Amino acid sequence: MAVARRASFLFRAEAMPHSPSPTIAGLTKSYSEGHKPAAVIAAAYARLAALGDPGIFIHLVPEADALAAASRLPPFDAGRYPLWGVPFAVKDNIDVAGLPTTAACPAFAYVPERSATAVEKLIAAGAIVFGKTNLDQFATGLVGVRSPFPPPRNAIDPARVPGGSSSGSAVAVAQGIVAFALGTDTAGSGRVPAMLNDITGLKPSLGAVSTRGVVPACRTLDCVSVFAHNTADAFTVYRTMRGFDAEDAYSRAVADDHPGAVAPIRRLGIPRRADRLFFGDDAMAAAFAAALDKLVPLADQVVEMDLTPFFAVARLLYEGPWVAERHAAVRTFLAGQPDAVLPVTGQIISAAGGFSATDTFEAFYQLAALRRATEPAWQTIDALVVPTAPIFPTLADLAADPIGPNSRLGTYTNFVNLLDLAALAVPGPWRMDGLPAGLTLIGERGADARLAELAMRFEQAVGTRQWAAA
């Protein structure tokens, strides 16, 4: 393992292991100058072919069909169609009309006649579907390789896990194939892969984006998430998708805020030193410290937080009866084809049988008590800042222990949806061993725009990438 040391030189853009990629803002500018989407779409298919990674997509839209969709776009108008001509990918547990939805289980596949509400809104805004991406089967996992299909290769280091469950979506963005991609996030699936592939991952407030047309993982906690190259792009996609949907029983309205029209975040909470012992190595700890060095000057006040009640909430997600929601989502299918799921996926979902209705109510009571214990934190801080993940496992680590690394990846993510919070994962200074790192900004429900405003300022502060300093 490389030893982290203080470095004064900048991490030059040309040294990045993956190529610069088109952004929504960049494509919009290009189109405003008269360029056409056909060249962008053709380049995306060529880049995917040259990359030679068969694990990113489960289903591709034929190139001719994508070009035909581009030809049917109305005249360019960025005001009416903010995603005009922008190619995007969709996690394969989210419906796209005419394409199979498999949730990474071929025997489960069906072809929807209608797209998910989120996808409908993006297409109406001018975006063009490129394909359906690979994932941890039934969105159960944070490693990104629990799939019967070839696993996507991490965009930075193919010997490392890509992160999940939204692995294909994150890699598709990181490799510059699409400008943005949809994932889902129940336990961190829209944030962990973002960090591990050095991109941005936006997890909205619960209910802000409709989940109609999404294969449930835990229906009461699921979110449609966004992967993009920067916060501005991610928020543009989020703002296009959000809105109350009467067809989704869990849809809830949120304020139509945007980063330029909200009060900035001034009070930051950071993990107390005792809670930073979850780091797997010194390189990750140094990278988080370097990120804080860039973030802290943007605030007026920094408070060290005791995260004990947050970690207790996190344990409920997989150790408590919420796993029964995963069983409820697929129990009819499993009853008929119990051998169609991967062993690890089946092991996790089958744990639902160990909980009674009484256990479930007791867990709800425990969650309510823990939520009350965390509430005072929001009287003293505007946002909580945590590492997105404390470790960066290799594929060999996972082969030796299929469960342990997955559990540790969720250390700072598993509690967020159970506590009805919003979160935004952003890249930070890289580790000294040449791997990406990042932090996650967490706020109360409805704080999405405020988190984005702070993230944009953080991006400016980080600027050209720097090595993390010890």
Average pLDDT over residues 223-239: 98
| Whether 199 contacts 162, CB under 8 Å | no
pLDDT at 171 over 80: yes
Q: Which residue has the tokens 């869990």?
A: 250
pLDDT band at 463 (very low <50, low <70, confident <90, very high): confident
Query: b/e string for 400-420 if b means 16 or more Cβ within 10 A?
Result: eebeebbebbbbbbbbbbbbe
Cα(197)–Cα(152) distance, integer angstroms: 11
Q: Any bridge partners for residue 225, and if so which?
A: 183
User: Per DSSP, what are the bridge partners of residue 184?
Assistant: 224
Q: Which of 21, 115, 147, 165 is catalytic?
A: 165
Q: Which of 21, 91, 132, 225 does the annotation list as catalytic? A: 91
Give me 88's structure tokens.
């995007």
347, containing H or E segment: helix 343-350
pLDDT(99) > 50: yes
pLDDT confidence of residue 434 = 92
- Inform me whether the pLDDT recorded for 40 exceeds 80: yes
Residue 88 clears pLDDT 70, i.e. is over it:
yes
Answer yes or no: 71 catalytic.
Answer: no
**Is 21 part of the annotated catalytic residue set?**
no
Residues of the chain with pLDDT > 90: what percent?
87
Task: Catalytic residue, from 147, 167, 189, 251: name it.
Answer: 189
Task: Name every residue whose Cβ is closer than 8 Å to that of residue 11 and which is 6 or more positions away in sequence.
Answer: 429, 430, 464, 465, 466, 467
Q: Give the model's confidence band at 83: pLDDT under 50 very low, under 70 low, under 90 confident, else very high.
A: very high
What radius of gyration, in Å, describes the C-alpha atoms of the chain?
A: 21
Q: Which of 203, 123, 120, 253 is nearest to 388 (CA)?
A: 203
The structure tokens 């997600």 sit at 317
Share of the chain above pLDDT 70, in %: 94
Dist CA 193 CA 198 (whole Å): 8
Structure tokens at 227: 């992967």
Q: How far apart are CA 443 and CA 451, in angstroms?
A: 7
- Reply yes or no on whether the pLDDT at 213 is more than 90: yes
Contact 179, 233 (CB under 8 A): yes
The set of long-range contacts for 321-325, using a CB threshold of 8 Å and a minimum separation of 24, is 321/352, 321/355, 321/359, 321/360, 321/363, 322/218, 322/221, 322/363, 322/418, 323/348, 323/349, 323/351, 323/352, 323/355, 324/352, 324/355, 324/360, 325/216, 325/217, 325/218, 325/219, 325/220, 325/221
The 10s digit of each residue's pLDDT in 312-326 is: 999 999 888 999 999
- In this prediction, residue 6 has a pLDDT band, given cuts at 50, 70 and 90, of very low
Question: Which 3-state string (H, E, C) describes 124-176?
Answer: HCCCEEEEEECCCHHHCCCCCCCCCCCCCCCCCCCCECCCCCCHHHHHHHHCC
What is the pLDDT at residue 256? 86
> Does 9 have pLDDT greater than 70?
no
Indicate if the pLDDT at residue 158 is higher than 90.
yes
* Angle formed by the axes of helices 63-71 and 37-51, nearest 10°: 160
Choose the most confident range, by mean pLDDT, from 21-25, 277-281, 344-348, 448-452.
Answer: 448-452
- The answer to whether 147 is a known catalytic residue is no
Question: What domains does the chain contain, in order, with CATH numbers?
Answer: 22-313+363-462 (3.90.1300.10)
Average per-residue pLDDT for the chain: 92
Residues 6+ positions from 106 with CB-CB distance below 8 Å: 148, 340
Q: Is the pLDDT of residue 214 over 70?
A: yes
Give the DSSP letter of residue 251. -
Which helix H or strand E contains 58, and what residues bound it?
strand 57-60
Mean pLDDT of 268-286: 85
pLDDT tens sequence across 361-382: 999 999 999 999 999 999 999 9
